[in-house]
Amino acid sequence: MKILANDGISKSGVISLEDAGFEVITTKVAQEQVANYINTNNINVLLVRSATKVRKDIIDNCPSLKIIGRGGVGMDNIDVEYAREKGIHVINTPAASSDSVAELVFAHLFSGVRFLHDSNRLMPLEGDINFESLKKAYAAGIELRGKTLGIIGFGKIGKSVARIALGLGMKVIASDKFIGKAEIRVDFYNNQFINVEITTEPIEDIFKHADFITLHVPAQEGYLIGKDQFEVMKDGVGIVNASRGGIIDEVALVDALDSGKVSFAGLDVFEDEPKPAVQVLMNPKISLTPHIGAATLEAQDRIGTELAEQIISILKTEQ
């Protein structure tokens, strides 16, 4: 059987699949040519990340497909239910990249509270002629320890964020439509650990009480945070979105940043990917990354291995 990993797969994943007798193709096929390539080469498994879209046209026109796999958590680039109605297995790797995304959240938080994103822009330009002025401009940083982190979406990634926050000495509050409480295990280097139980709260309480807010929810219709939500937040709140673009109203966000209501934002995802709005890209109060939450070597290795294990299990069972 043939597997097309159109958005790539880790070496460990390739090895696992090839050892099981599958042919793995890592050729990058343009979106408009995916269906034709699948049919010409009799592809049985299509693996994607976020770049390749698997809509009804591909599903309807590719009878050889048995599995569609998404390396990562969200599957909004796949018509999941439609594929399953057609008898195609749809799989993903919800746990493989949780720690990587969580660490990126804190990279943005640390950057925001210490102005690193702006300092790294201006120091190369003005550091030799404006050193003292820049030193003064960035002298009002704050610590994360002791502050309240509000986590919206308390799934695997939200829980990973909570672990880091608790380890830093932050107070953690969380909101989730489907999870009432969760026990967070915080591990330490010498095999010691503590368990902390967190009961989720209404999202309005997160808006009112959090010093920092981080979002970990799937793609959805409409904004989760807009003008009305910003108004009830604490003055000077910091916000990080490493989940899905379109959850935050970016126009309202820029207005809140300009007014000082929001002190900084960290964005890994955007409303208009892959061409984010210039007003967002140029704002000195926004820490920016190009949708790289899961893009660590460790996460890619885990994703490839987990996809391989699921594919082998499904196809070997059906043979």
pLDDT 10s digits, 47-72: 999 899 999 999 999 999 999 999 98
- Answer yes or no: do 206 and 129 share one domain: yes
Rounded mean pLDDT of 236-247?
A: 97
The reported pTM is: 0.90
- CA–CA separation, 135 and 119 (whole Å): 9
Question: pLDDT at position 253, please?
Answer: 98
For residue 228, which amino acid is it?
D
Per-residue DSSP letter, 54: B
- Answer yes or no: do 110 and 233 share one domain: yes
- Answer yes or no: do 228 and 150 share one domain: yes
- CA–CA separation, 230 and 257 (whole Å): 10
Phi first, then psi, for residue 309 (nearest 5°) are -60, -40
- Answer yes or no: do 245 and 172 share one domain: yes
Q: State pLDDT tens for residues 219-231.
A: 889 999 999 999 9
| Res 316 pLDDT > 90 | no
273 flagged as catalytic: yes
Mean per-residue pLDDT over the chain, rounded: 96
Question: pLDDT at position 229, please?
Answer: 98
126 flagged as catalytic: no
Q: Percent of the chain having pLDDT more than 90?
A: 94
- Answer yes or no: do 239 and 282 share one domain: yes
CATH code for the domain in which residue 112 is found:
3.40.50.720
- Answer yes or no: do 14 and 121 share one domain: no
Structural domain span for residue 141: 98-288
- Answer yes or no: do 209 and 302 share one domain: no
Question: pLDDT at position 117, please?
Answer: 96
| Res 102 pLDDT > 90 | yes
Rounded mean pLDDT of 286-312?
A: 95
Q: How far does Cα 122 stand from its chain's mean position? A: 28
- CA–CA separation, 15 and 268 (whole Å): 31
Neighbours of 125 (CB within 10 A): 10
CA geometry: angle at 111 spanning 207 and 258, to 5°?
55
- Answer yes or no: do 70 and 86 share one domain: yes
DSSP bridge partners of 198: 182
| Res 317 pLDDT > 80 | no
Rounded mean pLDDT of 257-268?
A: 98
Question: How many domains is the chain built from?
Answer: 2
Residue 111 to residues 162, 193, 203, 216, 288, Cα–Cα distance (Å)? 18, 28, 25, 19, 10
- CA–CA separation, 299 and 130 (whole Å): 40
Binning pLDDT at 50, 70 and 90, where does residue 73 land?
confident
Residue 273 to residues 54, 70, 311, 315, Cα–Cα distance (Å)? 17, 18, 30, 34
| Res 268 pLDDT > 70 | yes
- Answer yes or no: do 230 and 181 share one domain: yes
User: Is cis: bond before 274, omega within 30 of 0?
Assistant: yes
Question: pLDDT at position 74, please?
Answer: 83
Check 108, 244, 250, 306 and give the catalytic one: 244
Rounded mean pLDDT of 27-32?
A: 96
Q: State pLDDT tens for residues 151-171.
A: 999 999 999 999 999 999 999
- CA–CA separation, 97 and 302 (whole Å): 8
- Answer yes or no: do 77 and 132 share one domain: no
Question: pLDDT at position 105, please?
Answer: 98
Check 18, 143, 231, 273 and give the catalytic one: 273
- CA–CA separation, 201 and 149 (whole Å): 13
298 flagged as catalytic: no
Q: State pLDDT tens for residues 176-212.
A: 999 999 999 999 989 999 999 999 999 999 999 999 9
Question: pLDDT at position 174, please?
Answer: 98
Question: pLDDT at position 99, please?
Answer: 96
Check 216, 291, 302, 306 and give the catalytic one: 291
- CA–CA separation, 159 and 142 (whole Å): 24
- Answer yes or no: do 275 and 314 share one domain: no
Question: pLDDT at position 319, please?
Answer: 59
| Residue in the structure block whose two tokens are 């695997």 | 156
CA geometry: angle at 281 spanning 277 and 286, to 5°?
125
- Answer yes or no: do 178 and 273 share one domain: yes
